[in-house]
C-alpha cells in the first residue's frame, strides 16, 4: 500500500514537471493565453507556490500588463527571496511600466529599477541577465541622473569576471552606443573568437547589418550556417536579402525552409516569416505569389502594420 502511494506521488510529480515545462514552452513561444489556461489547470498546491507566481508574472509580462506582472513578481520575491530572478524580473516589469509613462513620471521609477537590478546581482553575482540589465539601464539613463557610459563600463567589468564572453559582448554594446565603431567591431570579434556560439555570431552579424556592411554580414552568416543547424539563421539571411537586395535567390530558398510543415523557427512569429517571404517574392517579380503570402501573414495578425503596407504596395503593382 505504501509503495503504491509512493509510486502514485512520483507519477504525479513527474506529470507536474512535464506540465510546467509545457507552460514554460508556451510562454517562450509567446502563447500567453494558452499558458495561462494551462497554469490554471495545475494542482492547487503548485498554483500557490513560488514557481507559479513567477510563471504568472511572466505571462502577464508577455501580455504587457505590467502592474499584474509586478504583483506576481512581488509575491515570487517574498516566497523565494534568495532567488535573483524575482528581483530582476520585478525591476524589468517596473522598467517597462516606466517606458509607458511620460518622461517626468518615468523619472520617479529610476531608483527603484536600479535597486532591484542591483539586488539581483547582490543575491547572485553570477546572474548574467541582471548584469546586462544594469548595463542597459546605465546606457539609457543620462550621466547626471546616475547613468552613462562610464557606469555601464564598470558593470561590464564585473560581468567580465562572471563570463568573459558576455563581458566582450557588453563592451561591444557600450562602444557601439558610444559610436566608437572600430572598438565595437574589435570587441564583437573577440566575443566571437572566445565564444564561437550562435549568440556571438548573431552579435557581429547584427552589428554589420546595422552598419549596412552587407558583404561582411553575409560572410559571417554563411560561416554561422556551416556550424549551426538553426532556422533562425535562414530567416536572418532572408531578412538581410530583403534589406540589402543581395542574394535574393538564396534568401528565397532559405525562407521556404522556414515554412515547411515540421519547421520551427525559435523566436520568430510565423507572420514575420510570411512577410519576409512575400518581400523576397516581390523582389523576384512574383507579385501574385507575394500577395498570397502577405494575406497569410495578415490572417495570423490582422493589424500587422508592415504586412498591411506590403499588401497596399503589392495591390498597386498588380493593378
26-83 residue pLDDT tens: 888 888 889 999 999 888 888 889 999 999 999 999 999 999 999 999 999 999 999 9
Residue 246's pLDDT is 97
Is pLDDT at 11 greater than 50 in this prediction? no
Can you say whether residue 133 is alpha, beta or left, with left for phi > 0 and alpha for psi between -120 and 50 degrees?
alpha
Residue 7 maps to a domain: no
Q: Are residues 119 and 131 in the same domain?
A: no
At 217, is the secondary structure helix, strand, or coil?
helix
Domain boundary (124, 154, 182) is at 124
All cell numbers assigned to 84: 535573483
Distance of alpha carbon 120 from alpha carbon 114, whole angstroms: 10
Q: Which domain holds residue 70?
A: 18-124
For residue range 189-211, list pLDDT tens digits in order. Answer: 999 999 999 999 999 999 999 99
Take residue 211 and report the three cell numbers written for it.
Answer: 552598419
- In this model, does residue 14 exceed pLDDT 60? no
200, 229, 258 - which closes a domain:
229
pLDDT of 284 over the 70 cut: yes
Of 265, 196, 260, 206, residue with least CA distance to 226: 196
- pLDDT for res 17: 59
> What DSSP character marks residue 165?
H
pLDDT of residue 31: 87
Query: Which residue do the cell numbers 532572408 mark?
Result: 238
CATH of the domain at 225: 1.25.40.10
CATH number where 235 lies: 1.25.40
Question: Are the beta carbons of 211 and 240 closer than 8 angstroms?
Answer: no
Q: Are residues 68 and 83 in the same domain?
A: yes
Same domain membership, residue 97 and residue 131: no
In a domain, 134, yes or no: yes
Lowest-pLDDT range of 7-11, 83-87, 189-193, 297-301: 7-11
Do residues 213 and 137 share a domain?
yes
Residue carrying C-alpha cell 547584427: 206
Which whole number is the average pLDDT over 157-163? 95
pLDDT, greater one: 2 or 196: 196
265-283 per-position pLDDT tens digit = 988 989 999 999 999 999 9
The closest of 214, 288, 200, 292 to 251, measured between CA atoms, is 214
For the chain, how many structural domains are there in total? 3
Same domain, 22 and 116: yes
Compute the distance between CA of residue 304 and CA of residue 70 in angstroms, rounded to an integer: 28
Q: Which of 198, 229, 260 is the last residue of a domain?
A: 229
- Looking at the structure, tell me whether residues 22 and 120 fall in a common domain: yes
Torsion angle, alpha carbons of 240, 243, 249, 251, to 10? 30
Amino acid at each position: 500500500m505504501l509503495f503504491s502511494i509512493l509510486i502514485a506521488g512520483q507519477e504525479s510529480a513527474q506529470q507536474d514537471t512535464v506540465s510546467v515545462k509545457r507552460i514554460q514552452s508556451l510562454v517562450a513561444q509567446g502563447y500567453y493565453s494558452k499558458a495561462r489556461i494551462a497554469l490554471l489547470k495545475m494542482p492547487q498546491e503548485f498554483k500557490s507556490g513560488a514557481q507559479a507566481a513567477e510563471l504568472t508574472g511572466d505571462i502577464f509580462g508577455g501580455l504587457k500588463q505590467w502592474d499584474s506582472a509586478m504583483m506576481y513578481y512581488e509575491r515570487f520575491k517574498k516566497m523565494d527571496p534568495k532567488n535573483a530572478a524575482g528581483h530582476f524580473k520585478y525591476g524589468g516589469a517596473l522598467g517597462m511600466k516606466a517606458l509607458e509613462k511620460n518622461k517626468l513620471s518615468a523619472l520617479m521609477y529610476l531608483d527603484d529599477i536600479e535597486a532591484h537590478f542591483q539586488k539581483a546581482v547582490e543575491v547572485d553575482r553570477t546572474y548574467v541577465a541582471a548584469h546586462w540589465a544594469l548595463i542597459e539601464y546605465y546606457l539609457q539613463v543620462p550621466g547626471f541622473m546616475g547613468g552613462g557610459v562610464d557606469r555601464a563600463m564598470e558593470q561590464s567589468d564585473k560581468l567580465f569576471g562572471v563570463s568573459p564572453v558576455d563581458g566582450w559582448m557588453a563592451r561591444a554594446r557600450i562602444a557601439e552606443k558610444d559610436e566608437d565603431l572600430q572598438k565595437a567591431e574589435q570587441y564583437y570579434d573577440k566575443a566571437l573568437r572566445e565564444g564561437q556560439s550562435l549568440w556571438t555570431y548573431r552579435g557581429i552579424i547584427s552589428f554589420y547589418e546595422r552598419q549596412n556592411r552587407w558583404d561582411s554580414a553575409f560572410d559571417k552568416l554563411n560561416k554561422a550556417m556551416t556550424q549551426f543547424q538553426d532556422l533562425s539563421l535562414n530567416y536572418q539571411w532572408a531578412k538581410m536579402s530583403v534589406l540589402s537586395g543581395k542574394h535574393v535567390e538564396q534568401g528565397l530558398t532559405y525562407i521556404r525552409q522556414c515554412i515547411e510543415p515540421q519547421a520551427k523557427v525559435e523566436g520568430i512569429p510565423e507572420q514575420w516569416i510570411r512577410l519576409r517571404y512575400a518581400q523576397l517574392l516581390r523582389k523576384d517579380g512574383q507579385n501574385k505569389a507575394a500577395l498570397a503570402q502577405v494575406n497569410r501573414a495578415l490572417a495570423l495578425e490582422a493589424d500587422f502594420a508592415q504586412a498591411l503596407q506590403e499588401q497596399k504596395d503589392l495591390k498597386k503593382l498588380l493593378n
